[in-house]
A and B are shown apart, each in its own frame.
Chain A
Amino acid sequence: MPRITFIDPDEGEHVVDIPLGWSLMEGAVRNLVPGIDADCGGACACATCHVYVDPKWIAALPPKGEMEETMLDFALATAPNSRLSCQIRVTSDMEGLVLRIPVDQH
């Protein structure tokens, strides 16, 4: 299980192990990482699982799908390193991935 770090807006670190094949969002929710709301449960319908990817990890992640791209276009406080954590499936090469959680998902 790759070990992933979520950093909350107050710089608190939440280090979680996420099973392969699960989404980053599911791993965060399962481990009670605060600030990943995921209202729709991963259907790419709400954009409440928004995260910022640590710059050195951006290229290592699978590219955004069209739906994710669109959801992010309309989400709050996005940046070039924004992703929806429900759309990224955990693979073995994500060991050590670092993600930042936005201040507000709504």
Chain B
Amino acid sequence: MTQILIIGAGQAGLTAVQTLRGEGFDGAITMLGDESFAPYQRPPLSKAYLLGAFARERLFLKPDAFYAQAGCELLLNARAEAIDRAAHTVRLADGRVLAYDKLMLATGTRVRKLTCPGADLPGVFYLRDIADVDAIQPVFTAGAKLAVVGGGYIGLEVAAVGAKRGLDVTVFEAMDRLMARAVSPAVSAFYKTEHEKAGVKLLLNTGVEAFEGAGKIEVVRAGGVRHPADMVLVGIGVLPNDTLARDAGLACDDGIVVDRSAMTSDPDIFAAGDCTRHHGREGVAIRLECVQNAIDQAKHAALAMLGRPQTYSEVPWFWSDQYDLKLQMAGLARPDDTIILRGDPVSRKFAVFHLRDGKVAAVEAVNAGPEYLMGRKLIAANAAVPPEKLADMSIAMKDML
């Protein structure tokens, strides 16, 4: 009988459990998580859940009965402290020692924290888990002055929910455009307009210098100006939880290094999801923070643990909901890609295609389902499509190949 231990009870951990059982594994599975909740969806946290439009019980990926039925022992409030690779055991913070034959690390990420003066003041929030949102909600009320630090997905999704809720929202972004790390300039410019239309104030090229207040946040000092604030939401990225792996001597490089079968530098230890650094289909070492990677890499980890490794080459995909705009992206863009605009941003429905060597490498689609879906297919197929054809709205996306 084989014992599989999964550290991390999120999307990747759960997917591994499902895949292991789906593939007929009948050994023991134990999954541990350091939160008090069974695996749940994080994407709604900065959207419907923050808005109060989504009850907590709807966040859970599976009902509690699933774990018993799947024969998965789920240990919550359980933090792994050390891996003993020679003994094949993991020690928990409460002193328990768990044995494994195969170990999977699905430890996810933690938020990057600001270190400026006043960063510890009450009223400065981060958003990563259920507890974070539950702490934000009581003060997330109409009329409150909300300062958002970071104009990325999380910051802008919270800004959009805040504007809808009637908060007075200001976004501080150190770069010269929104979502600079994730989208092309045309998409950044479009979202800038949309947020401004909703009454959100956007301060680009504006890094935060300090927070001030007597006992709680009152002022954000940025660009040499003091901005009054009742609350702050910081969304400046995440860091991979790779300390456990690093301490165990596994290869790490801003993330747990895995090969394309999701194996770490130890053949009995695998890793999947946000915590990994891996070579994707493009052969470039990356860390992907998204549901797609958590699911697909976890499936690979499960198969590899069963002795049936597969080569990970899935096309990454992402989405972000802001206002009534659905931003859907696939593939990984590079700065030197050829950019093709399809449709008119003024219509609030358009797509940006990225061509590399004449082939579709990435797509960003706003309220444009066919462009996103067909784009994903074209990327997976390494398809070459003439730029003028992609831009021609009289040709339906399904006729692009």
Contacts and interface: CB of A to CB of B under 8 A. Distances in A.
Contacts of B58: 22, 26
Interface in A50-67: 66-67
Nearest to B48: A42
Contacts of B44: 41
A44 to B, nearest CB: 8
A67 B41 CA distance: 21
Interface string B23-63: 00000000000000000010110000000000000100111
A31 B63 contact: yes
Interface string A31-54: 110000001110111000000000
Contact of A30 (B41, B63, B377): B63
A74 B373 contact: yes
Contact of B61 (A41, A71, A73): A41
Contacts of A31: 63
A32 B291 contact: no
B6 interface: no
Interface string B301-334: 0000000000000000101010000101000000
B369 A41 contact: no
Interface string B384-401: 000000000000001000
A70 B43 contact: no
Contacts of A69: 369
Interface residues of A, number: 19
A17 to B, nearest CB: 13
A15 interface: no
B62 A41 contact: no
Contacts of A40: 291, 319
B294 to A, nearest CB: 10
B266 to A, nearest CB: 29
B214 interface: no
Given A39-B291, A41-B291, A45-B317, A67 B326 contact: yes
B373 A70 contact: yes
Contacts of A71: 369, 373
- Of B43, B328, B373, B374, most buried by chain A (CB within 10 Å of CB) is B373
A88 interface: no
Contact of B66 (A22, A32, A73): A32
B369 to A, nearest CB: 3
B75 to A, nearest CB: 21
B116 interface: no
A74 B317 CA distance: 16
A73 B43 CA distance: 25
28 contacts: A22-B58, A26-B58, A29-B61, A29-B62, A29-B63, A30-B63, A31-B63, A32-B69, A39-B295, A40-B291, A40-B319, A41-B41, A41-B44, A41-B291, A43-B43, A45-B319, A66-B369, A67-B326, A67-B369, A70-B369, A73-B370, A73-B373, A73-B398, A74-B370, A74-B373, A74-B374, A74-B377, A74-B398
* Interchain residue pairs A-B with the least CB separation, the first 4: A70-B369, A74-B373, A41-B41, A67-B369
Interface of B: 41, 43-44, 58, 61-63, 65-66, 69, 291, 295, 317, 319, 321, 326, 328, 369-370, 373-374, 377, 398
